[in-house]
Structure 1
Amino acid sequence: MLSARSVFQEILDDEHSFQLFCSIAASGEAQGGWENARIAALVPDGMRDLAPKVARHGADEDKHGRIFRALLRKRGLPAVPVPAETDYTMLLERRGIGLAHTKLRADEPLTEQDVVVYLAHSRVTEQRAAEQMALLVRHFGDHPEIGRAVRMISGDEDAHLAYCHEELLRLAHRGHGRTIQRVLRRSALAEIAVYRDVSLAVMDHMGRLLRWPAAKSAALAAGIRAGYAYERFAGWHRMVGLRMPDRLDALGTPAPAPA
């Protein structure tokens, strides 16, 4: 029977698929770390109180990249190149979602509008990250090899999502509400399409590494497309709502230790 648990167990049990999975994850986290570090450095003067939180976000992403690389080292595996079609961050940028890397590489301060775009984009992508890590914790939180890592990363992703909610609500109260909703909607609709495409590409690579029969690969691809159809119809709405989180100042206080 196909399930998220059984598929990931196969990926975990095979060195080549595990190597690709961790390499993709480490690359994406490292990219997020760089982006947040640049944004923290370029936050406009009127919003400098936000810079330490953005920097903390970036430091967490760098930490996650190190965690995935450490999981590879424990098996004596090097990282492998990430196929372009599985590069979630790059594909989002190509769709014009988030802040362009050309802007982040420059030394010009960002505008308040840029910060709104960054936070709205992050609110959408952190929703996805928090959900994915919660799934891994549910199925593998007690796993002897990856359990502690997925619990730690999951806690961080929850904090990142809480921070995005809180800061966007503050900006909405400062008059950015319409812009925030517009950017959230655009980001969410682009993200669900990119997530579908990346999921299909990753499963295609995994299927070849694990020598899945054609029927199994087709069933997984159909499931991914069905998930996208639901998200395109209604599921994307969960990515655009804003509510004040239970945990306030999530990136301004020390993170709790993983259980």
Structure 2
Amino acid sequence: MLSAKSLFQEILDNDESFRLFCSIAASGESQGGWENGRIAALVPESQRALAPKIARHGADEDKHGRIFNALLKKRGLDACPVPYETDYTLILERHGIGLAHDKLRADQPLTERDIITYLAHSRVTEQRAADQMVMLRKFFADHPEVGKAVRMISNDEDNHLAYTHEELLRFAAAGHGRAIQATLRECALAEIRIYRDVSLAVMARMGRILGWSRAKSALLTAGIHAMYAYERLGGWRRMVSLRMPERRNALGGPATSAPEFA
């Protein structure tokens, strides 16, 4: 029976597919760490209180990248180059979602509108990350090889999602509600399309590595397109709603370490 659990187990059991999976994940997390670090350094004076939280967000992303690289190392594998069409984080940036890297490489302070754009982008992408980790935690929280990593990263993603809700609601209360909703909608509609395209590219490469039959590949492709259709028809709205989270001030302290993955 084809299921999310059996699919990931198949990827996990094969060194080459596991190598590709971890390499893609490590690359995306490392890029997210760099982006958050630069944003924290360029926060405008009016929002300096946010800088430690943004830096914490970046430190978490860097930690996740190290965790995925450590999982590779434990299996005696090196990271592989990430094909462009599978690089979700880079493609989002290339399509103008979030803050452009040219702006982050400059030494000019960001504006409050830039910070709202960053938070809205994070709200959307952290929803995707949190949803994926909930699925992995459901099936692999006790797995001897990846269980610790899954639990730790899942908890961090829940913190990141809570943080974006809380901070966006703070900006909305300050009169930015219309801009926030417009930016969230734009980000969400672009993200679901890019996520579909990246998912198709990743599955195609996994299929070649694992020798999937034409029928199995077609079924997975149809499933990805069906998910996109659902999200395009209205499922994207879960990515733009805002509510005060149960986890308040989720990024208010120092980043947690992961010594077991060092």
**Aligned-residue identity in percent:** 73
Q: Counterpart amino acid of 2:227?
A: G
Give the match for residue 125 of structure 1.
Answer: 125
Q: Which runs of 5+ in 2 are unaligned?
A: none
- Structure 1's consecutive aligned runs of 4 or more residues displaced over 6 angstroms after TM superposition are 255-258
Give the match for residue 115 of structure 2.
Answer: 115
Q: Distance in 2 between matches of 1:73 and 1:257?
A: 18
Instruction: Tell me, yes or no, if the aligned pair for 2:59 and 2:255 is still in contact at 8 Å.
Output: no
With over 3 angstroms needed to count, the CA separation of the structure-2 counterparts of 1:196 and 1:235, relative to structure 1, is same
Give the match for residue 62 of structure 1.
Answer: 62
Q: Distance in 2 between matches of 1:257 and 1:245?
A: 24
Instruction: Tell me, yes or no, if the aligned pair for 1:156 and 1:255 is still in contact at 8 Å.
Output: no
Give the match for residue 33 of structure 2.
Answer: 33
Q: Which runs of 5+ in 1 are unaligned?
A: none
**Do structure 1's residue 238 and structure 2's residue 238 form an aligned pair?**
yes
Give the match for residue 43 of structure 1.
Answer: 43
Instruction: Tell me, yes or no, if the aligned pair for 1:69 and 1:79 is still in contact at 8 Å.
Output: yes
Instruction: Tell me, yes or no, if the aligned pair for 1:200 and 1:221 is still in contact at 8 Å.
Output: yes
Q: Distance in 2 between matches of 1:84 and 1:188?
A: 21
Range with greater deviation from structure 2 (72-81 or 89-98): 89-98
Number of equivalences: 258
Give the match for residue 22 of structure 2.
Answer: 22
Deviations 1:37-82 (A, max 9, x none): 0000000001000000000000000000000000000000000000
Deviations 1:109-165 (A, max 9, x none): 000000000000000000000000110000100000000100000000000000000
Q: Counterpart amino acid of 2:89?
A: T
Quote how far apart the aligned CAs of 1:212 are: 0.4
Deviations 1:1-60 (A, max 9, x none): 111000000000000000000000000000000000000000000100000000000000
Residue aligned with 2:2, SS: coil
Give the match for residue 158 of structure 2.
Answer: 158
Give the match for residue 201 of structure 2.
Answer: 201
Quote how far apart the aligned CAs of 1:255 are: 6.7
Q: Counterpart amino acid of 1:189?
A: L
Matches within 5 A, 1:134-149: 134-149=134-149
Q: Distance in 2 between matches of 1:254 and 1:116?
A: 23
Residue aligned with 1:241, SS: coil
Quote how far apart the aligned CAs of 1:253 are: 3.1
Instruction: Tell me, yes or no, if the aligned pair for 1:29 and 1:65 is still in contact at 8 Å.
Output: yes
With over 3 angstroms needed to count, the CA separation of the structure-2 counterparts of 1:257 and 1:96, relative to structure 1, is closer
Instruction: Tell me, yes or no, if the aligned pair for 1:134 and 1:154 is still in contact at 8 Å.
Output: yes
